[in-house]
């Protein structure tokens, strides 16, 4: 029902910036939340930022003040502006979208991921 396509990843030096984009497409869905996660080999996928429709924006403590999530509801697109990037933030970044499932559950969809590499 939902496809998510990320873009904007790449190679950046430590202290640099990147802006990731994720566009949701499909039919017969209502997005109730969109967000960004990241994952490196051997580690669990971790939250970077999330924007529930009916609640406050959530950020990982490590990114507060440097990384900002935003959302264009008309385009079903979510962005992640990343500033002052650190080498340890090298990861595959995944967009997610949550839609209502069988109440009270939700269905979580994932994009294909976009590689972010921060050099020392």
Considering Cα of 91, then 95, then 98, then 101, what sign does the dihedral take? Answer: negative
Across residues 101-114, what is the average pLDDT?
93
Query: What gap in Å lies between CA 55 and CA 69, rounded to an integer?
Result: 14
Say whether the peptide bond before residue 104 is cis (omega within 30 degrees of 0). yes
Q: Strand 114-119 to strand 10-13: parallel, antiparallel, or no bridges (unpaired)?
A: parallel
41 φ, ψ to 5°? -55, 135
What does the pLDDT read at residue 94?
98
SS3 at position 36? strand
pLDDT digits over 2-56, tens only? Answer: 999 999 999 999 999 999 999 999 887 888 899 999 999 889 999 999 999 877 8
């Amino acid at each position: 029902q939902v496809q998510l396509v990320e873009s904007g990843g790449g190679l950046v030096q430590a202290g640099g910036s990147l802006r990731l984009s994720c566009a949701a497409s499909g039919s017969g869905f209502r997005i109730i939340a969109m967000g960004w996660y990241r994952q490196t080999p051997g580690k669990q996928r971790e939250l970077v930022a999330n924007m529930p429709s009916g609640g406050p924006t959530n950020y990982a403590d490590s990114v507060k003040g440097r990384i900002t999530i935003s959302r264009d509801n008309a385009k079903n697109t979510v962005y992640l502006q990343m500033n002052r990037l650190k080498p340890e933030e090298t990861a595959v970044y995944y967009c997610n979208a949550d839609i209502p499932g069988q109440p009270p559950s939700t269905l979580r969809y994932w994009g294909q991921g976009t590689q972010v590499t921060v050099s020392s």
